[in-house]
Amino acid sequence: KNHLLSLFSHLFSNPTNPNPDNNPPSRTRPIHVNSAILAAKSPFFHRLFSNGMLESSIPTSPVSLPIHSSEEPTLLDLLRYIYSGTLPFPTTRNPFALLNLLVAADKFEVTSCVSYC
Amino acid sequence: MSTQKKKNFKIEAFKHRAELEPNYAEKTWKILEHAIQEIYNHNASGLSFEELYRNAYNMVLHKYGEKLYSELVNTMRGHLHQLSRYVEGTQGGFFLEELNREWEDYKKALQMIRDILMYMDRTFVPSSKKPPVNDLGLNLWKDYIAQSLIIQVRLEHTLLELIEQERTGEVINRGLMRNVIQMLKELGPSVYQEDFERPLISQSAYFYRAESQKSIECCDCGDYLKKAERRLTEETERASHYLAEATGKMLQNVVEREMIANHMQRLVQRENSGLVMMLEDDKYDDLSRMYRLFNRVPEGLTTIRDVMTGHIRETGKQLVTDPEKSKDPVEFVQRLLKEKDKYDKIISSAFDNDKTFQNALNSSFEHFINLNPRSPEFISLFVDEKLRKGLKEVREEDVEAVLDKVMILFRYLQEKDVFEKYYKQHLAKRLLSGKSASDEAERSLIVKLKTECGYQFTSKLEGMFTDMRTSQDTMKGFHASQPPVMMERQPGLPVLVLTTGSWPMQAITACNLPSEIHWVCERFKAYYLGTHSGRKLSWQTSMGSADLKAVFGKGQKHELIVSTYQMCVLMLFNTSDHLSYKDIEEATAIPAADLKRCLQSLACVKGKNVLCKEPMSKDILAGDRFCINERFSSKFFKVKIGTVAAQKESEPEKQETRQRVEEDRKPQIEAAIVRIMKSRRVLDHNNIVAEVTKQLQSRFLPNPVVIKKRIESLIEREFLERDKVDRKMYRYLA
């Protein structure tokens, strides 16, 4: 399936709360992604787009991915990596950014990125 | 700035674990448990995968993996407990359907649960050495449903009953069967084997045992085999539809064992429909079915082969030993060929050209052909019949084909030297009386014999052909050497110079030739000895023939084709009208037996009686008188008189030939013994016998007693000596 989905980023003011579902999103950022490309690199995205739960039951509706506002650059890096297989220069030079990316890659099981880091 | 922020976040991340709400794990698990219940209730489409994944991820990340896992187990157990109650409670016929539907749902739900707990599967499960969610789900299903006491028994019983129903011709839901059996397979090979495959095999064995008992009582062999074959295809088909491949093989084995292997003897030996019947009636379809089926079980083909061999030997024995049937040699051989053709065809069309069957056929023929000591003679006579000209207009290819077949029979003969002896006689007769139909066919057969038995076997036969050719040249030379005037005045004398040894010759019994002939003979002798010094020429009057021009009482002119003896007798009547038996015997000096036969053919055969005999009777007696039959008439100009065609030998002749064969064998055996001893120097008796037998096998089977006699004779002549210590050992002296 090659349709485009928009991805909403929930940004939270309180980074200590690990469960952001009760808080309203502080910011929503739509990102157009190709579900097939994401699914190919990450089992998480694969199941997200296909296992029959809310996100995949209505193919055209946007899928939201709530994160801390601090995680936004990391997530964008990860998406970049998934699409291109490489990382932008600033990130590779920044050990903290890399560390964060490693955590995110582990969470979403982007194995190739974990080994890349 | 952003670096600074992240740094802070990281540090805080370590801290804030302590700041987690006190009932964080409990609360999070409740969310997940609720979700799992919703999944079980088919309400998954309302759940957010992302949220659940994140919750499970966070639980594992915050070291609550153990809790997550054990709570999951509890929840699943609870669900399965309810499920088993429900499945147990289903009514009869819907049991399988329900079970299958629950299984499908369960699998789907398990998949979703696994998805949301993916992170736990990946990180917590391997490190804590617990089964992953999927395996866990299957194991629990096995414990609560598939192998729970009530359901397990009911499931096995239902499946087996459905298969039995299908075997008895009912239509069952194969798709459902496939799904349920697939479930057992997915639960692990041991579940499939223990809970289903093993009971199925023993039930099938029981079923087919009963069926084969019943069928064998009421069906004939052919129908029974058809049934067995159908059952085999059914089981193969069944396996391909809903069983494991290995189970299909096992079921085929069951059918093979219960329906075929256990009844083989009874099937083949069945009267009126068994193997013997099929062979006799050329039932290719039935035979080939039997071959295919029996091929699948151990000892199956051996059983067929043994019965076939026994049958061929039995019928063959009847064929060759029945005195009625061996009256006509040509018919006799024809029957053998027909029998051979019949079985060749059976083996090629029903027995897959099986080499072992061909061998069995060959050995059977070898066995029974040699039961009749006259087989070699008859085969030679058969060839003679085929190669003699004038009898039938046969095409060359046909003759070739017949000869090839005869060669097959020849191969079966043990006493090939006896065949050679007869063949030589018959060939000599064909050549000398000019009756050989085709030089090519004759040569072709000799080439065949040569390839079969080697140069030695045919050298004398080839010598006969050489003699025929050189004789033509000699005759040309002779005619050229005679003054033309002489040639016109004297009777034509075609001479065939035969090498002694190459030709089957009886002891020379020279008769008195008519003076006209005698004179020409002398001239030829002078010519021949003139060109070939140091040779001896003697006349074989018993083998020649002559054409006579005769004028009878009323002027009827005929040309008589007669033997040399007959010619001698008839020529006497040129000078006198009446002659007594005594007169003729004195004048011609033909041996009495031959003379009687010759007179009989001249005087007693209706239509060919050029002589009159007094008194009229069938037999020739010493007191009989003969005169020319002046009223002789025939619608043919050329009259052929009583040529003694190649015939089956009479009893004394047979004895004589036999004796000659035995005589000829002696030097061959001796030569073999000497050859062996020359290379071995010392050898014991049994080994010599064995080796001699082996060496001479291609020609005949030497009798051990005869070999012993030959050894003794060689010892007498000091070729060998007995060992001084071990009397069984022989030593070669040279």
Q: At A25, is the pLDDT very low, low, confident or very high (cuts 50, 70, 90)?
A: low
pLDDT computed for residue B389 by the predictor: 66
- Half-sphere exposure (CA, 13 Å, Cβ side) for B480? 7
- CB spacing of B57 vs A55 below 8 angstroms: no
CA-nearest residue to B16 within chain A is A16
ipTM of the complex: 0.86
Q: Are A101 and A78 in contact (CB under 8 A)?
A: yes
Residue of B nearest to A42 (CA): B118
d(CA B176, CA B103): 12
pLDDT score recorded for residue B489: 61
Q: Which residue of A has its CA nearest to B19?
A: A16
Residue B575 confidence (pLDDT):
82
pLDDT in the model for residue B580: 86
Q: What does the alpha-carbon distance between residue B476 and residue B487 come to, in Å, rounded to a whole number? A: 12
* A94: nearest CB among B3, B49, B52: B3
Q: What is the pLDDT of residue B456?
A: 79
Check if B336 contacts A (Cβ < 8 Å): no
3-state secondary structure of B200: helix
In the stretch 390-429 of chain B, residues with CB closer than 8 A to chain A read none
Q: Which of B20, B49, B55 sits opposite A55 (nearest CB)?
A: B49
Label residue A3 by pLDDT band (50, 70, 90).
very low
Residues with Cβ < 8 Å from B466, sequence gap 6 or more? B499
Q: Which of B28, B46, B58 sits opposite A54 (nearest CB)?
A: B46
- Asked if the C-beta of B107 comes within 8 angstroms of chain A's C-beta atoms, the answer is no
Q: Which of B584, B481, B460, B589 is nearest to B526 (CA)?
A: B481
Structural contact between residues B32 and B56, judged by C-beta atoms closer than 8 angstroms:
yes
From chain B, pick out residues whose CB is under 8 angstroms from the CB of A52. Answer: 44-45, 108, 112
Give the minimum alpha-carbon distance from A48 to chain B in angstroms, rounded to a whole number: 6
- Residue B6 has a pLDDT of 38
Name B503's bridge partners: B500
What value does the mean pLDDT of chain A take?
73
Predicted confidence at residue B392, as pLDDT, reads 58
Arithmetic mean of pLDDT, A86-107: 84
Which of A16, A51, A70 faces B6 most closely, judged by CB atoms? A70
Mean pLDDT (10-residue bins), chain B, 734 residues: 37 45 86 93 87 91 91 94 89 86 93 93 92 93 89 92 92 92 91 92 94 89 92 92 91 92 88 87 92 91 92 90 80 90 93 93 91 88 80 70 88 87 85 78 87 82 86 84 68 77 70 81 85 80 79 79 83 83 84 79 76 77 82 78 56 79 86 89 89 85 88 88 86 83
Q: Rounded to whole angstroms, how far apart are CA atoms B406 and B404?
A: 5
Q: Is B119 on the interface with A (CB under 8 A)?
A: yes
Tell if the CB–CB gap between A19 and B122 is shorter than 8 Å.
no
pLDDT score, position A32: 76
